[in-house]
Chains A and B, each alone.
Chain A
Amino acid sequence: MLQIRRIGVRLAGLAATILVIATINFILVHSAPGDPASVMAGQSGATDEKFLAEVRAEYGLDQPYIVQLGTYLGKVVQFDLGYSFRQRRDVADLIMERLWPTLLLTLTSFTLALAGGIFLGALAGRRAGRWSDTLISMGALLLYATPVFWLGLMLVLVFSIQLGWLPAFGYASIRADSFTTWHYITDVASHLVLPAVSLAAIYMAVYTRLMRSSIIEVSHEDHVKTARAKGLTEGRILRRHMLRNASLPVITFAGLQAGAMIGGAVVVETVFAWPGLGRLTYDAVLQRDYPVLLGLFLVMSVLVILVNLLTDLIYRMIDPRLAAR
């Protein structure tokens, strides 16, 4: 009984949080100068009063702020994300189209960054002070300092222009709808490589450094000394006694960053013409396409919450002590 009440309270809290987020989003979005009508007018090269008034009326911008906010929140409660009058389509459709490419890109990059970071960090941490450690640490620092768009362009230069191995941009080849399933998968995968590596690089660098220091710290713990005293090989000690403990801070950190990754993919999505949410957001900001923008904010907050949940699960898998609690 108490348990159910507790869950109920938490759910109510969550709903309230989302409404507060939605309200803040609304105020934020509407406080930028200009509106969708002025953008459309500014881009079409000619306009008149009737056109501006009609666009504003469609968006409901001729209503008082408080009425607009009320209408918006009313729709959010009904899970209605609204309609983009600029693109003449439902916001939910626009977002759903872009959701899959973004999830594919960010999840691949996330996995890549985490796996690579833990692997390289552990390697460096075990050989702290030796040349391989110096090499990895230097490499990580270099990656960390490299701007994402530059790295992306350099990868294109090498792998697309010079070597011709990988496509330079896009999500799939333009005739991809006629491909067999397997051909389609490899096609998308080959398009995925460069953007995923570009996006993963900076995070991998961070995780490598985190993992390295974490490994060094764990290696001074009593249970590791005991294992060493037992005469276990170094490799076995690393795998069985250190890796899991040492990964925890990295995974905690990665979980926090995963949200940022979803929104922060905009640069990579732009360089590689990847049709994802980041670019949709960027365009919507510039176009003051309020319904799209508000819809995106909402979907992204939900995604961040989901990713945090996922991190929690992974955390418990790696450290069974947490699950027992």
Chain B
Amino acid sequence: MNRREFNHLLFMSGAVAVSGVGLGRPAFAQAAEGGLTAIIQPEPPILQLALNQQTPTGVVGGKIYESLLSYDLKLTPGPQLAESWEMSEDGLTYTFHLVKNAKWHDGEPFTAADVVFTCDDFLKEVHPRARATFDRCESITAPDDYTVVFKLKEPFAPFLLAFETSSAPMVPKHLYEGEDYRNSEHNQTPIGTGPFKFNEWVRGSHIHLQAFDEYYGEGQPHLTEIYYRVIPDAASRSVALETGEAQLAQWGDVETFDVERLSALPHLTMTTEGYEFFSPVSWLEFNCRNKPMDDKRFRQAVMHLIDREFIRDRILFGLARVATGPIASTTRFYDGDVKQYELSIEKATALLDEMGLTPGSDGNRVTIDYPVPPYGETWVRTAEFIRQALAQGGINVNLISTDVAGWASAVSNWEFDITTNMLYQFGDPALGVARTYVSSNIRKGVMFTNTAGYSNPEVDRLFAEAAVATSDDTRQQLYSEVQKLLVEEVPVAWLTENQYPTIYDNRLEDLIVSATGANGNFASAKYAG
């Protein structure tokens, strides 16, 4: 390069440097009129809801796929792909009558054959939760194109709650039959019966869904399209809502400390409704195999040491209720008439002294390991707070930070002393609560089982009887009993019933109408006016 060329290059690069600013133009492009732009975070790995039940997959997949039933905010089953249903006297036979004009997004009709294929074959192969439910069936049959009959081996009280979209999403038989379900090419272009059909997915950027013209709901859906934008940074997500670039955020999209500010903006509304089906309860989990966590008195002492109202008010910014026991107050069979553990260092130390767990020369009675769940700031702050709280009772806590893989591996392989955990309740204690406490569910290496290792024959009996009891009164009695017993025993130290904010543009109507809220199908959602 000679000097002239060099100077030319120099000029060019200077021009690039200067012109960097100035190319800008307002680009608040949004979904077309009548469409919705929502936030999705994290980006789901796939959209085939039967193969993946992570929360973001449920949010997007819940518009594409549907199951037989829907659930109102009180968790009462309502029609979806089934327009009516009945249960036999003995509680062993459930008959569903399907809607007759439902179609798959590729135009094929939805029939009873699809339901049988989905429940008896596809889901049993790939879906852990559905597998547990449908393994209870002796037979699943279709007497005609629009009737499906489930025959159970023994009564299972929450059977009607098993037909929520992410619990049992219907998949098309005509596409999947004979395929390798996990590796089928159809998983990239999900086909469901929902009000919105999949159009495009630009990874790392957005997912585009379009209204399905042949949807069976009369006049539904009202929205013309939905864009789910992937916005990995929490501050940027708040900005998107603030500027109107996005009109909807759900679950943990908005940091707890930002919720109040955003809710106060004139164009936004906030609700904590629409999470009843999940009703997550968080707790401090003990590894009951290790000393001193194996002693009930130690666990009770911990209950006395933790100020759960502080966690609710200062860490979760009010987006929680204090949990009184294993069953969430937003679900059926909750009983709040249980032992209370008031905040009291004296009571805690008395219990610990009684155990003979006395302070050593450094003032610590015991040192225990606490792998901190890597699900965001809130969990870190909760862990730090619990560390301080337990220190007041002479319990020294060693916080270990890790990532999802490390944490899940430590907890499922029982390599921890205490940790925080949170589980969905899936609408019924037999589906989402019993699994944490019954001894038959102590399974090493498997997450969300009885990882605490708690074992009590009486608890096992009560949960087992309540699951097969057909009368709600009997069930309530059994669950009240088990709640009293568990709260006395403290297999885990319940902290809060966590609430999530759904923040949306206040021109939107009938958006959050079911117990699965933002995971619902949005068939009824529309803009006012």
Of the 9-residue stretches A162-170, A222-230, A255-263, A301-309, which lies at the interface with chain B? A162-170
B37 close to A (CB within 8 Å): yes
Contact indicator B447/A38 (Cβ below 8 Å): yes
Quick one: closest B residue to A243, CB to CB? B10
Residue in A48, A52, A186, A272 whose CB lies within 8 Å of B132:
A48
User: How many chain-A residues does the 8 Å CB contact rule pick out?
Assistant: 89
Give the distance in Å from the alpha carbon of A320 to the alpha carbon of B520 in the complex.
66
Q: Which of A47, A118, A172, A196 has the most CB of B within 10 A?
A: A47
Contact indicator A174/B229 (Cβ below 8 Å): yes
Of the 9-residue stretches B16-24, B76-84, B294-302, B328-336, which lies at the interface with chain A? B16-24
Contact indicator B16/A112 (Cβ below 8 Å): yes
Give the distance in Å from the alpha carbon of A88 to the alpha carbon of B424 in the complex.
26
Distance from A75 Cβ to chain B, minimum over Cβ atoms (Å): 17
Chain B, range 1-58, C-beta contacts under 8 Å to A? 1, 3, 6-7, 10, 13-14, 16-17, 20-21, 23-32, 37, 42-43, 45-46, 48, 51-55
Contact indicator B408/A39 (Cβ below 8 Å): yes
Contact indicator A317/B1 (Cβ below 8 Å): yes
Quick one: closest A residue to B227, CB to CB? A174
Q: Contacts of B136 on A, CB cut-off 8 Å?
A: none
Residue in B243, B409, B423 whose CB lies within 8 Å of A33:
B409
Distance from A322 Cβ to chain B, minimum over Cβ atoms (Å): 12
Of the 9-residue stretches B143-151, B233-241, B357-365, B464-472, which lies at the interface with chain A? B233-241
Give the distance in Å from the alpha carbon of A153 to the alpha carbon of B23 in the complex.
20
Contact indicator B1/A320 (Cβ below 8 Å): yes
Give the distance in Å from the alpha carbon of A36 to the alpha carbon of B45 in the complex.
12
Distance from B153 Cβ to chain A, minimum over Cβ atoms (Å): 18
A78 close to B (CB within 8 Å): no
Residue in B23, B32, B129 whose CB lies within 8 Å of A186:
B23
Distance from B33 Cβ to chain A, minimum over Cβ atoms (Å): 12
Contact indicator A190/B27 (Cβ below 8 Å): yes
A246 close to B (CB within 8 Å): no
Give the distance in Å from the alpha carbon of A20 to the alpha carbon of B10 in the complex.
40
Residue in B54, B188, B208 whose CB lies within 8 Å of A89:
B188
Give the distance in Å from the alpha carbon of A114 to the alpha carbon of B16 in the complex.
11
Quick one: closest B residue to A47, CB to CB? B128
Give the distance in Å from the alpha carbon of A169 to the alpha carbon of B31 in the complex.
16
Contact indicator A156/B236 (Cβ below 8 Å): yes
Q: Which of A167, A174, A176 has the most CB of B within 10 A?
A: A174
Residue in B3, B132, B404, B446 whose CB lies within 8 Å of A34:
B404
Contact indicator B17/A32 (Cβ below 8 Å): no
Q: Contacts of A174 on B, CB cut-off 8 Å?
A: 29-31, 37, 206, 208, 227, 229
Contact indicator A33/B28 (Cβ below 8 Å): no
Of the 9-residue stretches A126-134, A135-143, A209-217, A279-287, which lies at the interface with chain B? A279-287
Contact indicator B13/A111 (Cβ below 8 Å): yes
A318 close to B (CB within 8 Å): yes
A125 close to B (CB within 8 Å): no
Contact indicator A166/B446 (Cβ below 8 Å): no
Proximity bits, A245-281, B CB within 8 Å = 1, else 0? 0000000000000000000000001111111100110
Q: A34-B408, A88-B188 are in contact. Are A168 and B243 (CB under 8 A)?
A: yes
Of the 9-residue stretches B197-205, B379-387, B492-500, which lies at the interface with chain A? B197-205
Q: A186-B25, A318-B6 are in contact. Are A160 and B408 (CB under 8 A)?
A: no
Task: Provide 7 A-B residue pairs closer than 8 Å at the C-beta atoms, listed in order of the A residue.
Answer: A50-B131, A164-B28, A189-B23, A193-B23, A271-B233, A273-B204, A283-B43
In order of increasing CB-CB distance, the 6 nearest A-B pairs are: A275-B204, A34-B405, A42-B408, A173-B29, A115-B13, A34-B409
